[in-house]
Amino acid sequence: MGTKQIYEERELVTALRSKDDQAFGYLYDHYSGALYSVVKQVVGDTEVSNDVLQETFVNIWRKIELYDESKGRLFTWMLNIARNAAIDKTRSKGFQQSSKLQPINETDGAYATVKPGVDDYGLKRLLFKLKEEHRLLIDLSYYQGYTHEQISKALAIPLGTVKTRIRTALSQLRTLLQ
């Protein structure tokens, strides 16, 4: 099954590069749900999620030439496009005015947008199995897109510690995924 999937993925990439509409239709049917789920975990709001998903697929279509198979799977590449588009959206003026998303700062204790029971699906559900300190760092870096330096400053944790904790948290995630 594994080899078949790789072949299919290669075939799909080739078709997309030749601007094949049907291949795009297949791509959308196959992956839109997974990407939509990730986008919703970042932006929350449904209508905004629709816009971000649209941006994501248009970008995939336009930038397919830039996809490098040697650096990872097609899904991983698309996942990062979706996540980046979603984080960009949360940082846009219009979005910040219309949502309760708080900028990261030291006086505000409530950094995490992760709340049990509200959006406990996908990776986020797995996050609750992590230690609090780890969960916060994953949330800030993965779902809110802050750099290690920004997190280090905001939480007053040494940069090295931020890196170590994120890595530890991620290796735990991996175990949870398997």
Residues that bind other proteins (CB under 8 A): 19, 21, 24-25, 28-29, 32-34, 36-38, 40, 49-50, 53-54, 57-58, 61-62, 70-73, 75-76, 79-80, 83-84, 121-123, 125-126, 141-142, 147-148, 163, 166-171, 173-174, 177-178
Per-residue tokens: 17: 């590069």
Complex with other proteins: residue 72 or 103, whichever CB lies closer: 72
Amino acid at 10: R
Complex with other proteins: residue 97 or 175, whichever CB lies closer: 175
What is the C-alpha to C-alpha distance for residues 113 and 136, in angstroms, rounded to an integer?
Answer: 9
Instruction: Report, in Å, the least distance between residue 136 CB and other proteins.
Output: 13
Secondary structure of 87-127 in HEC code, one letter for each residue: HHHHHCHHHHHHCCCCCCCCCCCCCCCCCCCCCCCHHHHHH
End-to-end CA distance of the chain: 18
Instruction: Report, in Å, the least distance between residue 159 CB and other proteins.
Output: 10
Longest CA–CA separation in the chain, Å: 52
Instruction: Report, in Å, the least distance between residue 106 CB and other proteins.
Output: 21
Complex with other proteins: residue 62 or 93, whichever CB lies closer: 62
163 contacts: CB under 8 Å, gap ≥ 6 = 148
R_g (Cα) of the chain, nearest Å: 18
Complex with other proteins: residue 4 or 93, whichever CB lies closer: 4
What is the C-alpha to C-alpha distance for residues 23 and 36, in angstroms, rounded to an integer?
Answer: 19
Complex with other proteins: residue 99 or 152, whichever CB lies closer: 152
Amino acid at 54: Q
The DSSP letter of residue 31 is H
Instruction: Report, in Å, the least distance between residue 8 CB and other proteins.
Output: 13
Instruction: Report, in Å, the least distance between residue 173 CB and other proteins.
Output: 6
